[in-house]
């Protein structure tokens, strides 16, 4: 089959317009956890199963990291001690955090408050 640049270009254009793109400098919610953490497991059961389907996930997609292996690309304001700790990060810099998991009824408002405090990084939920 001969190489057809027009077809390749059309496929790439279709992929770019169909696939959701995330800006390089967009915020992310980094969940710092440890194996065997009861509160981490509870968060996964109550929140984690649906987090990526929420408006909050659109504003700050979740990235999970182990407390024993903190990524070098994040400049934490202070080293996380408790698990889970949820750190809002943009361009590798910490913007704010939620330490611990207070249960689903308190987590959502706390997360919304954290996201709303940084609209330049997370948007306001508008398209």
Q: Identify whether 112 is part of a domain.
A: yes
CATH number at residue 90: 3.40.30.10
Q: Which pLDDT score, from 0 to 100, does residue 123 have?
A: 82
Q: 91: domain range?
A: 23-120
Work out the average pLDDT over 113-122: 94
Count of domains for the chain: 1
Q: Identify whether 93 is part of a domain.
A: yes
Measure the CA dihedral 73/22/103/106, to 10°. Answer: 110
Average pLDDT, the chain: 86
* pLDDT over threshold 50, residue 108: yes
Closest listed residue to residue 28, CA positions, set 118, 126, 127: 118
Closest listed residue to residue 127, CA positions, set 24, 12, 20: 20
12-47 confidence digits (pLDDT tens): 445 444 444 444 458 999 999 999 999 999 999 999
73-83 confidence digits (pLDDT tens): 999 999 999 99
43-83 confidence digits (pLDDT tens): 999 999 999 999 999 999 999 999 999 999 999 999 999 99
pTM of the model: 0.78
Q: Identify whether 31 is part of a domain.
A: yes
């Amino acid at each position: 089959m001969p190489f057809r640049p027009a077809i390749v270009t059309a496929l790439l254009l279709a992929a770019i317009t169909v696939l959701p793109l995330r800006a390089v400098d967009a915020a992310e919610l980094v969940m710092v956890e440890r194996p065997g953490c009861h509160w981490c497991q509870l968060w996964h059961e109550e929140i984690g199963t649906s987090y990526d389907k929420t408006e909050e996930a659109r504003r700050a997609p979740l990235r999970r990291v182990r407390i024993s292996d903190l990524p070098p690309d994040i400049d934490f304001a202070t080293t996380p001690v408790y698990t889970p700790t949820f750190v809002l990060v943009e361009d590798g810099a910490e913007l704010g955090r939620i330490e611990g998991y207070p249960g689903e009824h308190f987590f959502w408002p706390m997360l919304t408050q954290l996201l709303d405090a940084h609209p330049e990084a997370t948007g306001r939920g508008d398209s």
